[in-house]
A and B are shown apart, each in its own frame.
Chain A
Amino acid sequence: MSMLKDWINKGRLKSPWVVHFDCGSCNGCDIEVLACLTPVYDVERFGILNIGDPKHADVLLVTGTVNHRNKHVLKNIYDQMPEPKAVIAMGACGLTGGVFREAYNVVGGVDKVIPVDVYVRGCPPKPEAIIDGVVLALEKVKAKLEAAG
């Protein structure tokens, strides 16, 4: 049993599956996430896959401010993901609300709703920074795996 578990854990760390949720972003960050998948940056060479289903994902990548309508959607997606999981908040808006922090419909950063493991700064962050964020998130997943035994 433990051999199987080791094998699964190895796969988790070597090929993280990322689900991306646009949580009220201006698209600037989202197109940079997509740019990571394309030939110039090509994160698939590190085994990082972008998928649509949160039930298959290890890492949740959230862009944009949280507002009163989509905070339930964000929580729902987070709850659907299997443990161990990591959350990356991306861009100035995802961190604190950015330039929109004083707008009436904005709750604030992603960490107001779900726990965040890695923060990637920038408006929008460069693709290199996003890749770095995913790599850092993997270390968090590793620590969670070790803690769980």
Chain B
Amino acid sequence: MRTILPFGPQHPVLPEPIHLKLVVEEEKVVEALPNLGYVHRGLEKLTDIRDYNQMVNIVERVCGICSCIHALNFCEAVEEMMKIEVPQRAHFLRVMWSEIHRIHSHLLWLGLFADGFGFESLFMQLWRIRERSMDLMEATAGNRVVISTNIVGGVRKDITEEQKTWILAEIDKIEAEVRQVEKTLLSDYTVKSRCCGKGVLTKEQAHQLGAVGPCLRGSGWAQDARMTGYAAYGQLDFEPVVEHDGDSYARCVVRFREVYTSCDLVRQALAKLPGGELAAKFKAKPEGEVWRRVEQPRGELFYYIKGNGSKFLERVRIRTPTFANIPPLLAMLPGCDLADVPVIVLSIDPCISCTER
């Protein structure tokens, strides 16, 4: 017998409103039909009344969790369009804040994932560690979540030598504490029984359905937009994290190991941090078309902007990683048990406010 179960928009495991109609036969999910639009604000259209400098503040609020990286991508796109030479120090500081943001986002997700399969003490532990990265952002930028450090032409804030030493010490502590929970998360029998083999996305499927980020890398593709070398990533050394199983567990492992990569990138960026100006001065009006892509914690983020010679951009188009990861999610769900739905939905790290904007 077929039954349709509503999942969301207000649901304990979902921090955000998304509505899935789950068609179930007994306990097995046969089909999942997404129903979106609960967070749609229409902020791309705000470009009609906000100029390109003000738009930086708007695009930061596409998503609070990866706000810094949205602003980074938008600023880089505008800079490319107006041919602004960004100072090297700004590039390295942008990398530093992006990677601190990635650490906070991944630890947040790992905690929510642990909560999703009912491991509440692990959730608490991971969020305790995450508070260190929040402190780093508050101390360097002045706000805990939406840090607003990127502006068109460079960055707004600088760090002192003392702060640099302190940031490095905190990053070491984060890494050491994450290593302590590694055994609990990655070799625990209960965690494996809830995640291994759940929501498998094969290597071919991942490519055909256009998965991005940890979802793609969990299925065996070594693709990371940071390898394109935007900001200062071209001068830093890192390897994309790849797993081959394609299940929820593989995606969890990818994100877990990316925390270490991010810690390492912060260290490298601070070690190579050059002196000099924070932001370039410029006199230009945006004109033409530009697209840019960067790596968000959830995957590849794509911006297309079009200028018409006035200070208001004609079009801002944002394609976010969760939007790309919804077709793979709908391919993972059929055939799973109803009890595994929260784990599988969480495993793509859904960010609905990004998707709907």
Where the two chains meet, the residues of A that have a C-beta atom closer than 8 Å to any C-beta of B are 21-32, 34-35, 38-40, 51-54, 64-65, 67, 69-70, 73, 77, 98-100, 102-106, 123-124, 126
The answer to whether A28 and B57 touch across the interface, beta carbons within 8 angstroms, is: no
The answer to whether A70 and B38 touch across the interface, beta carbons within 8 angstroms, is: yes
The answer to whether A102 and B49 touch across the interface, beta carbons within 8 angstroms, is: yes
With both beta carbons as reference points, the residue of chain B lying nearest to A38 in the complex is identified as: B127
The answer to whether B17 and A70 touch across the interface, beta carbons within 8 angstroms, is: yes
Find A69's partner among B15, B38, B353 (CB 8 Å cutoff). B38
| Chain B interface extent, by class | 35 or more
- 14 additional A-B pairs beyond A26-B63, A100-B46, beta carbons within 8 Å, are A21-B17, A26-B62, A26-B67, A34-B112, A34-B127, A38-B111, A38-B128, A39-B131, A52-B10, A70-B38, A73-B10, A103-B43, A104-B42, A124-B144
Interface assignment of B324: CB less than 8 Å from any CB of chain A: no
Binary interface encoding of chain B residues 276-309 relative to chain A, with 1 for a CB under 8 A from any of its CBs, else 0: 0000000000000000000000000000000000
Task: List chain B residues, Cβ under 8 A from A27.
Answer: 15-16, 63-65, 351, 353
Give me 23 A-to-B residue pairs in the complex whose CB atoms sit less than 8 angstroms apart, sorted by A's number: A21-B10, A25-B64, A25-B353, A26-B67, A27-B63, A27-B64, A31-B145, A32-B145, A34-B108, A38-B127, A38-B131, A39-B128, A65-B41, A67-B41, A69-B40, A70-B17, A73-B17, A102-B49, A103-B41, A105-B42, A106-B41, A123-B61, A124-B64
The 7 A-B pairs with the shortest beta carbon distances in the complex, nearest first, are A28-B64, A52-B12, A38-B127, A27-B64, A105-B42, A103-B42, A26-B64
Task: List chain A residues, Cβ under 8 A from B171.
Answer: none
Most-contacted residue by chain B among A27, A98, A103, A104 (CB, 10 A): A27
Find A22's partner among B16, B41, B65 (CB 8 Å cutoff). B16
Query: Would you give the shortest CB distance from B220 to chain A, in whole angstroms?
Result: 29
Distance in angstroms between the alpha carbons of A56 and B15 in the assembled complex: 18
Find B45's partner among A38, A52, A98, A103 (CB 8 Å cutoff). A103
Binary interface encoding of chain B residues 112-145 relative to chain A, with 1 for a CB under 8 A from any of its CBs, else 0: 1000000000011001101100100000000011
Distance in angstroms between the alpha carbons of A30 and B41 in the assembled complex: 17
Task: List chain B residues, Cβ under 8 A from A67.
Answer: 38-41
Find A28's partner among B10, B112, B130, B145 (CB 8 Å cutoff). B145
